[in-house]
Chains A and B, each alone.
Chain A
Amino acid sequence: MCWCGSNIASTVDLDRVQKAVEKLTNVVHVEQNKYTCSEPGQAQIVAGIREHNLDRVVVAACSPRMHEKTFQRTVAKAGLNPYLLEIANIREHCSWVHTSVEEATPKAIDLLRAAVAKVIRNTPLTTSTIPVEKRALVIGGGIAGIQAALDIADAGHQVVLVEKEPTIGGRMAQLDKTFPTLDCSACILTPKMVDAAQHPKIRLLTYAEIEEVGGYIGNFEVTIRKKARSVNEDVCTGCGICWSKCPSKAPNEFDCGLGERKAIYIPFPQAVPNKPVIDRENCRYFTKGKCGVCKKVCPAGAVDFEQEDELLRERFGAIVVATGYELFDHSVYGEYGYGKYPDVITGLEFERLINASGPTGGKLKRPSDGKIPKTVVFVKCVGSRDEAKGFPYCSRTCCMYTAKQAILLREKMPEAEAYVFYMDVRTPGKGYEEFYTRATEEFGVNYLRGRVARIYPKGDQLVVRGEDTLVGAQVEIEADLVVLATAMVARRDAAELAQRIGFSYDQYHFFTEAHPKLRPVETNTAGVFLAGACQGPKDIPDTVAQASAAAVKVAMLFSRDELETNPMVATVDEGTCSGCEWCKPTCPYGAIDIKTIEERVGKRTVSRRVATVNTGLCQGCGACTVACRSGAMNLKGFTNEQILAEVEAICL
């Protein structure tokens, strides 16, 4: 029994517990430690086993999530099967949730009695091994996915990088400059895009989506839908004649709809692969049945109107999810015009308007009339830190990108005035605070502390009304352009993807890491790792760091040829199984199959259908044991008998 310093000992009277436990049948020896997880504490367990010739051990301490593995290794050192150990959680389940010793002590005794009742029914379990498929799947071709793919590939492993857009590059490709160094986003990103495309170990699948994921760590089976590009990638040379001749136009998604592209297009000049795609919804050939100009002009004969979606089935040992983010839709803000004022734009739209590859060729012109703005107002925390209309969380990147945009504005157009409405300026990154200081001191950006109450049109301008809370007065600015720093939010299909792969997400649909501090790139599903803003709002440096970390996790996994399996899996007593098949649809992992067995009844041989468990797929959740009506299904390590013994020990 562990004191855990004073964590347990101050709320549970362990001497009283010891007296009660010593009286239990089967209990031979009881002792206490200040820190059982310490080396002397573990040594005492080993000594105890040897001295008293013990064949079962109960450790009453913290949650098994903390130290079950530690103590399993400890008892194994003394020669016991590690599964002959039970943990009684008297910290999280007892001392931490009670304040009264009088309440906590009897509860600790109950928990120990249950653990003892269970442990005497424990049987030795042995692990088996499964082979590892040393190929990684990276989902999402933004900077996170690219970095993870490059690192895994450089470690010598095969990677398939799946991107649903026609090109890799993601959001970073849309940005103009990056903070805090103001280097051109494309200049630092495109070399990595090219590296990814040319790496012998990386296979790019753009314009492709994940259809289905089965299997388990080391052995995922993934179906990928390669959408019909209508262009044969193997033949196309990317010469560009098709899109220069195409007569149909559509808003360019890459420019946030501010500019136009053709129906056959590459999203931006440095697209990787440099192979166009036909947007069938806007293509005259597909909508009206006639045109086909692209096909006629293509010197390589690459245009293929008949191309269909292709389903690829691949095996992977690990998955890195790097699906990125979307921007908050500010049309819920009636006070900012419901997204209907053309000159109220998002930060990302601003990036496109000042970018040389953008719709205005890098000259900042406002969307409504192409006028060059003289007064630009930036509004921070739109959709973030706002539980009424958006999300309560801080979107983390907006303070910095707003400072950057204001600097870029003042740098390009010193005659233009920049105003930033903020609630706080959060700059916790290397060189960030210095960068913000430059915005105010060197570039003369006007920072105003307050949330904007309203934006409304007046003539061809927009009146922005806020409070300068430091002065304590209402302020009004007649602006030519308003830039909203809209929050990073989870992609709208994030939850669906998480369900398809089988890991968890939070209330905002960001993917959940296995531990907020100590396991930041793993999910709760073994073999599935996270990188970038799909896990929470993140800037480029943090995204790249997390992507490399995820790659290391994958490389670690691939450094082994075989993985130990969890022995706590379901097992079928074929004698009592009635073959009703109820367990089969209950299993979330598809681990149960039905097989036919033959047995002798009297003098005849009859065949009968029974359930069987694929121990590689079974995750030990126990759902089948509850569904089983004849009690034939049991979970090793948590058998029905063991659970009932625990219940009886507490209740009887």
Chain B
Amino acid sequence: MAVVNLTEIVRNRKEFIDEVEKHGGKNVNSCYQCGKCSAGCPVSYAMDYQPRQVMRMVQLGMKDKVLSTSTIWLCAHCMTCTTRCPREVDIAGVMEALRMICRKENRPIRERKVPLFHDLFLDIIRKGGRQHEFQLAARYKIATGNLFQDVDLGRRMFFQGKLRLFGPKVKGAESVRKIFEKCKELEGDVQ
């Protein structure tokens, strides 16, 4: 890692930490780097930085660096870390907050497929009120260009009656759409 110029970064630290806490990350400054979060994290092996290191980057105000990690996208939100943290830091909540900030600021995303999936997921709800797994799978395949992922599985699921070709009908779909609109209005980016 390149030299981190703390003089510059620390100046804006408070602002960044406030932003993270505003988006739902709790007690960021309480972290004392014990590593219990990372030790128990099921996905840690696939991350470029340990969750503990992400916490440190937030504490120091290393905004650019932390928002470019794969870690924030690979958090499975299993909340093992939050449950075990001896300092009662909501680490999973910090990960969520960092994703939101990353998207809000239209920054490049390390694990692009992860938010792509979430976008499609939410788009279907926004339009129909409920999730429709067949549509989600189909649109995800088209978007990633990986048309043959899990084709065999899909076929078998279809014959077991687990994939419905047509989405559910929700009377209140309109009201769900309105919820999305208002959230966007009040909090900015929704997808």
Q: Residues of A at under 8 Å CB distance from B?
A: 335, 381, 385-390, 423, 449-454, 465-469, 472-475
Contacts and interface: CB of A to CB of B under 8 A. Distances in A.
Interface in B14-57: 32-41, 44-45, 49-50, 52-53
Contact of A389 (B45, B52, B80, B86): B86
Contacts of B33: 423, 469
Contacts of B84: 335, 388, 453
A474 B44 CA distance: 8
Contacts of A389: 86
B120 interface: no
A423 B85 CA distance: 14
Interface string B85-127: 1111000000000000000000000000000000000000000
Given A423-B32, A451-B34, A467 B87 contact: no
Given A423-B32, A451-B35, A465 B88 contact: no
Contact of A453 (B36, B45, B49): B36
Given A452-B36, A472-B53, 6 more contacts: A335-B40, A381-B34, A385-B32, A453-B39, A467-B39, A469-B35
A172 to B, nearest CB: 30
Interface of B: 32-41, 44-45, 49-50, 52-53, 80, 84-88
18 contacts: A388-B84, A423-B33, A449-B35, A450-B34, A450-B35, A451-B39, A452-B39, A453-B84, A465-B39, A467-B44, A467-B52, A469-B34, A469-B50, A472-B49, A472-B50, A473-B50, A474-B39, A475-B39
Contacts of A473: 50
Contacts of A449: 35
A473 B88 CA distance: 22
B32 A474 contact: no
Most buried by A among B36, B37, B52: B36
A466 B39 contact: yes
A390 B84 CA distance: 12
B91 to A, nearest CB: 12
Contacts of B50: 467, 469, 472-473
A437 B38 CA distance: 27
Nearest to A470: B35
Contacts of B40: 335, 453-454, 465
Contacts of B39: 450-454, 465-467, 474-475
The 8 A-B residue pairs whose C-beta atoms are closest, nearest first, are A453-B40, A453-B39, A467-B35, A450-B35, A451-B34, A386-B86, A451-B36, A467-B39
A337 to B, nearest CB: 14
A3 B32 CA distance: 42
B28 to A, nearest CB: 16
Given A472-B50, A474-B44, A474-B45, A467 B86 contact: no
Nearest to A448: B35
Nearest to A472: B50
Given A454-B40, A472-B49, A472-B50, A385 B35 contact: no
Nearest to A333: B84
A465 B44 CA distance: 12
Given A450-B39, A465-B39, A466-B39, A388 B34 contact: no
B34 to A, nearest CB: 4
Given A465-B40, A466-B39, A469-B35, A387 B45 contact: no
A385 B34 CA distance: 10
A449 B50 CA distance: 14
A473 B46 CA distance: 11
A389 B83 CA distance: 11
A73 B171 CA distance: 88
B88 A387 contact: yes
Contacts of A467: 35-36, 38-39, 44, 50, 52
A118 B92 CA distance: 60
Contacts of B88: 387-388
A465 B53 CA distance: 18
A117 to B, nearest CB: 48
Nearest to B33: A469
Nearest to A386: B86
A11 B50 CA distance: 49
A388 B52 contact: no
A389 B84 CA distance: 9
A473 B39 CA distance: 8
Nearest to B36: A451
A388 B49 contact: no
Nearest to A466: B39
A454 B83 CA distance: 12
B86 A466 contact: no
B37 to A, nearest CB: 8
A453 B35 CA distance: 8
A466 B84 CA distance: 12
B87 A466 contact: no
A473 B50 CA distance: 7
Nearest to A390: B86
A423 B88 CA distance: 17
Contacts of A450: 34-36, 38-39
Nearest to A385: B86
Q: Which of B35, B36, B44, B49 has the most CB of A within 10 A?
A: B35
Contacts of A474: 38-39, 41, 44-45
A450 B45 CA distance: 16
Chain B CB within 10 Å — which of A387, A474, A475 has the most?
Answer: A474
A387 B53 CA distance: 21
A583 B23 CA distance: 57
A388 B86 contact: yes
A226 to B, nearest CB: 44
A469 B32 CA distance: 12
Contacts of A452: 36, 39
A523 to B, nearest CB: 32
Contacts of A387: 86-88
A381 B36 CA distance: 12
Contacts of A465: 39-40
A473 to B, nearest CB: 8
A615 B35 CA distance: 60
B126 to A, nearest CB: 38
Contacts of A472: 49-50, 53
A235 to B, nearest CB: 54
Contacts of A335: 40, 84
A472 B44 CA distance: 10
A118 to B, nearest CB: 46
Contacts of B37: 453
A453 B42 CA distance: 11
Nearest to A454: B40
Contact of A469 (B41, B52, B80, B86): B52
A474 B37 CA distance: 10
A465 B88 CA distance: 20
B85 A388 contact: yes
A81 to B, nearest CB: 55
Nearest to B38: A467
A387 B34 CA distance: 13
B29 to A, nearest CB: 14
Contacts of A466: 35-36, 39
A452 B38 CA distance: 10
Contacts of A386: 86
B88 to A, nearest CB: 5
B35 A388 contact: no
Contacts of A390: 86
Nearest to B34: A451
A251 B28 CA distance: 46
Nearest to A452: B39
